[in-house]
């Protein structure tokens, strides 16, 4: 049962892309699977120190020895997918796309962008939500990956190829998207939620694997949670970027923008309530705390200890930047089979 699932414990942008890449490399994963659609971008730093943002491919795309899969629960913007394939020079020998993944057409993007969600809840307007709705409504005009001739070389029954890998006791990393606080089923922030469930169980279902296959759930959280810009919903203990910069005594101003829309994110102090709910639902075996470098150097240890006390769990890994992840436990303690 060598499957690891990477999930977010707050409102997204917790650093799941970096974490999924790290564990794919360290655990020598054979496959990395990307769930969801292009409404979220995952960032990873390559060997040249360049930030790479992926909206369709797993961040393990920059690792030459990891195969990639886009599962049937995914939603594909063809322009973005082709761009990422060309930028990474990935061929059908490494990338598998399930025939039942849904295609986001221009009509679906227009439908979403002309609707009310961008203004009312801060939707990215990527068309992902409209595609999910079209699938649920059984619209006959819905396109699937199997309907696109250009994708034919990549088409593979993803559950079967992943099962073959598991039968050989090879590690699979499932890279979930967004965060627990955006779940339309469990987060209680409706309507300020996304269009799909954002729990480990949901991501697993999208891949076509069994709960019996999983032995690691890696919950990724931030020292300072964020929400996307605009009217994106409640954010407890909200502050601004200037406050964070001043309190942390940072030399340069700190400010984050969303990977997809490039709008300035909202930011808040750590809130244990949403994280404890994420722990209850996901039951993580590993917890990663990112953006520890945002905390003032003199108070980091105290802050991390307070976070651990508030959530009732130990922090296993700390992230100090976009390309930094430091284990607090030996990697050998992570289950390998």
User: Domains of the chain (ranges plus CATH)?
Assistant: 3-98+154-333 (3.40.440.10)
**Among residues 228, 237, 282, which one has the least CA distance to residue 258?**
228
Longest dimension (CA), the chain: 59
Task: Please work out, in degrees rounded to the nearest 5, the angle formed at the alpha carbon of residue 268 by the alpha carbons of 250 and 52.
Answer: 65
Lowest mean pLDDT among 11-25, 111-125, 214-228: 111-125
Distance CA 84, CA 200 (A): 25
| 239 SS3 class | strand
Instruction: Output the CA torsion sign for 82, 84, 86, 90.
Output: negative
Q: How far apart are CA 102 and CA 73, in angstroms?
A: 8
Q: Could you give the 3-state DSSP secondary structure of residue 326?
A: strand
- Alpha carbon separation from 197 to 8, 72, 182, 229, 277 (Å, rounded): 12, 15, 8, 21, 14
| Percentage with pLDDT > 90 across the chain | 77
Q: What is the pTM of this model?
A: 0.92
| pLDDT higher than threshold 60 for residue 4 | yes
CA distance 254 to 117: 29
pLDDT on residue 125: 73
Q: What is the mean pLDDT of residues 324-330?
A: 67
Q: What is the pLDDT of residues 170-220, one digit of tens each?
A: 999 999 999 999 999 999 899 999 989 999 999 999 999 999 999 999 999
Place of tokens 């961008």: 118
* Separation between Cα atoms, residue 163 and residue 77, nearest integer Å: 27
Mean pLDDT to the nearest integer, 37-49: 85
pLDDT at 273 over 70: yes
| DSSP-derived secondary structure for 48-85 | TS-EEEESSS-GGGGSTT-EEEE-TT-EE-HHHHHHHH
Q: With contact defined as beta carbons under 8 Å apart, do 3 and 213 qualify?
A: yes
Determine contact, residues 60/94, Cβ cutoff 8 Å.
no
Number of CB atoms found within 10 A of residue 43's CB: 18
pLDDT at 174: 97
The tokens for 100 are 């039942």
The overall average pLDDT reported for the chain is: 91
The alpha helices in the chain, defined as continuous H runs, are 16-26, 78-88, 106-113, 117-121, 128-136, 158-167, 200-207, 241-247, 272-282, 300-311
The pLDDT value recorded for residue 121 is 56
Query: Residue 211: which of 1, 57, 56 has the closest Cα?
Result: 1
């Amino acid at each position: 049962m060598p499957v690891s699932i990477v999930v977010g414990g707050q409102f997204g942008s917790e650093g799941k892309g970096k974490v999924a890449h790290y564990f794919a490399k360290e655990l020598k994963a054979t496959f990395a699977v990307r769930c969801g659609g292009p409404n979220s971008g995952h960032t990873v730093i390559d060997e040249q120190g360049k930030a790479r943002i992926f909206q369709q491919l797993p961040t393990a795309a920059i690792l030459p020895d990891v195969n990639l899969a886009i599962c049937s629960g995914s939603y594909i913007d063809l322009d973005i997918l082709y761009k990422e394939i060309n930028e990474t020079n990935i061929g059908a020998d490494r990338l598998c796309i399930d025939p039942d993944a849904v295609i986001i057409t221009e009509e679906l993007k227009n439908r979403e962008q002309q609707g009310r969600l961008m203004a009312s809840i801060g939707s990215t307007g990527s068309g992902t939500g409209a595609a999910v709705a079209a699938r649920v409504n059984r619209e006959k005009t819905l396109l699937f990956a199997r309907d696109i001739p250009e994708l034919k070389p990549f088409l593979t029954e993803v559950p079967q190829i992943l099962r073959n890998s598991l039968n050989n006791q090879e590690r699979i990393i499932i890279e979930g998207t967004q965060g627990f606080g955006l779940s339309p089923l469990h987060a209680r922030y409706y309507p300020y939620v996304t269009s799909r469930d954002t729990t480990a169980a949901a991501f697993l279902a999208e891949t076509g694997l069994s709960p019996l296959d999983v032995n690691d759930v890696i919950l990724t959280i931030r020292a300072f949670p964020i929400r996307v810009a605009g009217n994106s919903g409640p954010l407890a203990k909200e502050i601004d970027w200037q406050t964070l910069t001043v309190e942390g005594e940072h030399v340069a101003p700190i400010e984050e923008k969303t990977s997809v829309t490039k709008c300035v994110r909202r930011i808040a102090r750590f809130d244990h309530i949403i994280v404890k709910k994420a722990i209850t639902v996901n039951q993580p075996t590993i917890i990663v705390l990112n953006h520890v470098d945002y905390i003032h150097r003199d108070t980091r240890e105290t802050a991390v200890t307070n976070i651990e006390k508030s959530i009732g769990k130990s922090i296993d890994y700390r992230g100090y930047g976009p390309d930094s992840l430091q284990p607090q436990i030996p990697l050998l303690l992570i289950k390998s089979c």
